[in-house]
Structure 1
Amino acid sequence: MKIPFLKYAFLVCFSTLSVSVMGQDKPNPTPPSGTLTEEIEVVRPYKPVLADAVKIRRSPDLKNEQPYKAALTYNIIDKKLELNSNIKELEAQKMVDEKEVVLRNNYAKAAAGSSGTTLGEVYVNTGRDQGLQAGAFFKHLSQQGDQERQQFSTQQLGLFGRTVSDSYSLSGKLMYDRRSTYFYGFNPVSSATVNMDKQRFGTIIGQAELINNFTESSPLDYALNIKAYQFSNIDEGRESSVVLGGSVNKAMNLLNFGLNASADFTAVKDEAYKMGNSILRANPYVKLQGKAFSLNIGANIVQEFGDRSRTNVFPAVSAEIPVVTDYAILFGGVNGDVLKTSLRDLATENPYLSKNISIANSIEKMNIYAGIKGNAGAEFGYKVLGFYKTVEDLLLFVNNPTTINRFDAIYDNGESKIFGLNGQVNVKASEILSLTGKAEIYNYELASENEAWFKPTLRFSSNARFDLNEKVIIDGELLFQGETTAKFPGPASGPVNIVNIKSFMDISAGAEYRVNNKFGVFLRANNLLGKSYQKYLYYPKLGMNLFGGVNYSF
C-alpha cells in the first residue's frame, strides 16, 4: 500500500517542477497596473573581485605639497587715504552759570499775645566766610499772670566771633543776661501778709578759647580757654568767677595720653558774709582706642581752697564695647567729682531765694553707671543709662521759716544714695515727622532729711516736629513731672510738716507759615491744659497763654 502512495507523490512533484521551468521560458505578458512584475532570486551574496591586471602597484606620494597659486590682479588708485586714529581730548561741556544762593544769616522776630506777652529777637552775622565769623544778638521776653505781681522779664545781649587759620581756631563771646521777677508767692490758707518785693539778676559773661586744628603731623592736640562772669542781684548779693582751663593729648598708635586741668577762682559776697570758693582740678588719663572698643583709665584730683580746704581723689574710668556695630554699644564707668555750689547757679534754678544763702560744695563720692546706646541709621537713635550715686551734702531747697515765699538752700548732712534710670530716643519717622523723648526715674535715700525736697522721682519730656511742606511747620512739646514734696515752715523744735505738690503735665504747640524766603508768621500756645501747676510751693505757673508774631530774614 505504501508503494503506490510514494509513486503518486513523486509524479505530483515532478509535474510541478516542469510547470515552473516552462513558465520561465514564456514571454511576460502585459502586467496589470499597480502589480509587481519582476522577480529576482538571490543564490549567494555578491563579492567583487578585481583582477591582478587592473591593480595599481604604486603608492601615492603624500609629500607632494605644491601650493595653489591663484592669478591675482590689482587696481591701484592714485589717491592717498588718510586715517586719523588718534583719540581727541574731550572738551568739558560748559555749565550754565548758576545764580549764587543768597544765604540769609540775619533775622528779626517780634510777637505779642495774652498774659501781657511781648517778644523780640534780632540776630546778625557776617555771612559765608569760614575763616572769620562775627555776629551779635538780642532777645527779650516778658509775661504777666493773673495773680498779683506775677511778672517775669528776661533780656540777653551778646557779641561773638570766631577765626580759623591753618593751624588753630580762636573763638570768643561776650554777653549780658538780665532777669527780673517778683516774690509773688503766698500761702492760700494763711491771712499773713507777705513781702512781694522785686528781684532782679544781672550777669556779665566773657569767654575765649584757643584750639589747635588736627593734622597728621601734629605732635600734640591742645586747647586753652578762659571763662569769667560777674553776677549780682537786686540786693547785695555778688559773685565773681574766673576759670582758666586747658587740655593736652598725645596719640601713640592705639594709646592716647592726656591731661585736663582747670583753676576756678570764685569769690562770693552777700549782706552778711564774704567767702572764697575756689577749686583746682587735674584729670590725667590713658585711653586705649581700638577698632571695636575704647577704654579710658584716669583719675580726677580736686583741691578746694578758700574758706574751706580739702583734697579729694576720684577714679575716672570708662569703657565702650560694641555688641552690634553702631546698632548696640555697651558702655559704663565709675567716677566722682566735687559739685560746686554757686550763687549764680542757685538763682538760675530758683529765682525766689532769700538773702545770705548758705554756700557749700557737695561731693559726688562715687558714680557707677552702665547702659546701652546705638543707632539704626539716621532714622532711629536711643540711649538707656542706669546709675548709682553716693553724694555727700546733697543740695536741697526749702521755704524760709519766717518769709514763706522765699527759699533757703540746705544740705543733707551725710551720704545720700541716689538710684536712677534715664532713657532717651530720637526718631525720624519720615521727611515730614521727627520725634524725641526723654524719661528720668530717680529714687533717693537721704541721710538726715525726710524727703528730697522739690526733687521729682519721675520726669518725662518729648517734642515733635511736622514739616508739612516748605511753607508750613508745626511743632509740639510735652512735659510731665511726678509728685514732689516740700517742707512746710513750722517751729524749729516741732515735727516736720510735709506738703505734697501734685504732678503736672504741660503741653505746648506752635506753628509757622513762611510767606516767602524773607517773611513768615508764627503762633505759639503754652500750657494748653490751662493748669496753674506749681514747681515750687506757693508759686503757681502761668495758665494757658497764646501769642503770635512775624519774622523777617535778611
Structure 2
Amino acid sequence: MNHLKNIILLFAVFLTQFSFSQKKDENIGSEVVNIVKPYSPTISDAFKVKETPSFEDDDTIKKEKITYSIFSFPVASTFTPAKGKAAGVEQSKKEKLYNNYATLGLGNYLTLNAELFITEKLDKNKYVGGMIRHLSSNGNIEDVILDSKFATTTADVTFGNRNSDMYYNLDLGYKNQVSYWYGLPVSSVPFAETNLIANIQERQRFNTFQLGGKLGLNDGFLNHSTFLLKRFSDATGSAENRFYIKPETSIEILNTKVKLDV
C-alpha cells in the first residue's frame, strides 16, 4: 500500500514539473541571427567552341562528285584591239630668238630713239657682240629762252667664252651725254632785257669710259668674280675714276652651302 502511494506521489510530481516546463517554454521570445561569411569569388573554366563541329548525321559528311562539261566551238571574230599610244603633251610654240635686231622710234620735239644689237658666235664656246644706243631731242620747248636740246649716245663691245670648266667675258663701253640747262626764272627776272643770256653757257657734256669683265669657275673655291674700271669726266675739266673687284665664293658648312661676297 505504501509502495502504491509512493508511485502516485512520484507521478504527481512529474506532471507538475512537466506543466511548469511547458509554461516556461512559451515565454522564450524570438531572436534574429545574422550569419556573415567572407566573399571569395571563383572563376569557372571556360569552354571553347570547337572550330570544326562534329555532325552525327553521316549524310551531311558525305561528298558528292560533280562533273562539269563545256561545249566549245569556234566563233569568227573581227575585233582587233588598237595598239596603245602615249598621250601627247601639247608643247608651246618655241619663241624665235634673233642674234641681231634694230629699233627706231620718233616722238615730239623731234625726239629720236634708236638701238642696234649685234651678236656673232665665233665657235662653239666663243662669241662677240656690240650695241649702239642713241636718244636725243631737238628741244624748242615753248616759252624757253635758252636751248632745250639733249642727246645721249652709248656704245658697248663684249667678248666672251663659256665651256664646261669656266666662263669669262670682257666689256668695253663709252657713253656721251649732252645736256642744256635751260631753266630760268623768267617771270621774276627780266633776262630778256639784259645781256646776261648771251654769256650763259647752258650746254654741258659728260663722257664715261669703262672696262669690265666677269670670271667664273664651275668647280672651285672662287665661283664668280667681277671687276670694273670707270672714268667719268665733263667739259669743265672735272673727272672721277672708279675701280673695284668683287669676288664671290661659297663654302659648305654642315651640309649647308654658304655664299660669301667680298
Supply the RMSD in Å over aligned alpha carbons.
4.2
Return the offset for 1:211.
2.6
Question: Residue 68 of structure 1 is aligned with which of 54, 64, 71?
Answer: 64
Q: Distance in 2 between matches of 1:257 and 1:61?
A: 87
Structure that is richer in strand per residue: 1
Question: Residue 211 of structure 2 is aligned with which of 201, 206, 211?
Answer: 206
Q: Distance in 2 between matches of 1:242 and 1:119?
A: 31
Q: Distance in 1 between matches of 2:65 and 2:85?
A: 52
Which amino acid is the alignment partner of residue 120 of structure 1?
A
Aligned partners of 1:219 and 1:250 also within 8 Å: no
Q: Distance in 2 between matches of 1:247 and 1:224?
A: 6
Identity of aligned residues (%): 18
Return the offset for 1:75.
7.1
Q: Distance in 1 between matches of 2:236 and 2:116?
A: 31
Q: Distance in 1 between matches of 2:231 and 2:250?
A: 32
The residue that corresponds to 1:220 in the other structure is 221
Which amino acid is the alignment partner of residue 118 of structure 2?
V
Return the offset for 1:179.
0.7
Return the offset for 1:239.
3.7
Are 2:109 and 1:111 equivalent residues in the alignment?
no
Instruction: Give 1:40-439 correspondences, 5 Å limit.
Output: 62-63=57-58, 65-70=61-66, 72=67, 92=86, 101-126=95-120, 134-143=128-137, 144-146=139-141, 147=144, 148-186=146-184, 188=186, 189=189, 191=194, 193=196, 194-196=199-201, 198-213=203-218, 220=221, 222-253=223-254, 254=256, 256=258, 258=260, 260=262
Which amino acid is the alignment partner of residue 64 of structure 2?
Y
Q: Deviations over 1:267-290 (max 9, x none)?
A: xxxxxxxxxxxxxxxxxxxxxxxx
Return the offset for 1:235.
4.0
Q: Distance in 2 between matches of 1:205 and 1:112?
A: 29
SS in 1 for 2:109: coil
Q: Distance in 2 between matches of 1:117 and 1:67?
A: 108
Return the offset for 1:257.
7.4
Return the offset for 1:209.
1.1
Aligned partners of 1:149 and 1:196 also within 8 Å: no
Aligned partners of 2:178 and 2:204 also within 8 Å: yes
Structure that is richer in helix per residue: 2
SS in 2 for 1:177: strand
Q: Deviations over 1:446-498 (max 9, x none)?
A: xxxxxxxxxxxxxxxxxxxxxxxxxxxxxxxxxxxxxxxxxxxxxxxxxxxxx
Instruction: Give 1:392-541 correspondences, 5 Å limit.
Output: none
Return the offset for 1:207.
0.7
Aligned partners of 1:110 and 1:120 also within 8 Å: yes
Q: Deviations over 1:184-206 (max 9, x none)?
A: 45453154614226322222212
For the pair shown, the structure with the greater C-alpha radius of gyration is 2
Q: Deviations over 1:110-151 (max 9, x none)?
A: 233432322222223459x99666532211122113332222
Which amino acid is the alignment partner of residue 227 of structure 1?
L
Q: Which runs of 5+ in 1 are unaligned?
A: 1-59, 80-88, 261-554
CA change 1:219–1:241 in 2 (3 A) is: closer
Q: Distance in 1 between matches of 2:234 and 2:149?
A: 17
Q: Deviations over 1:177-231 (max 9, x none)?
A: 0111245454531546142263222222121011334xxxx66353222211233
Q: TM-score, normalised by structure 1?
A: 0.28
Q: Deviations over 1:153-189 (max 9, x none)?
A: 1101112355443343323322110111245454531
Which amino acid is the alignment partner of residue 205 of structure 1?
Q
How many residues matched?
186
CA change 1:131–1:99 in 2 (3 A) is: farther
Q: TM-score, normalised by structure 2?
A: 0.54
Aligned partners of 2:248 and 2:259 also within 8 Å: no
Q: Distance in 2 between matches of 1:98 and 1:227?
A: 40
SS in 1 for 2:171: strand
Aligned partners of 1:159 and 1:173 also within 8 Å: yes
SS in 2 for 1:115: helix
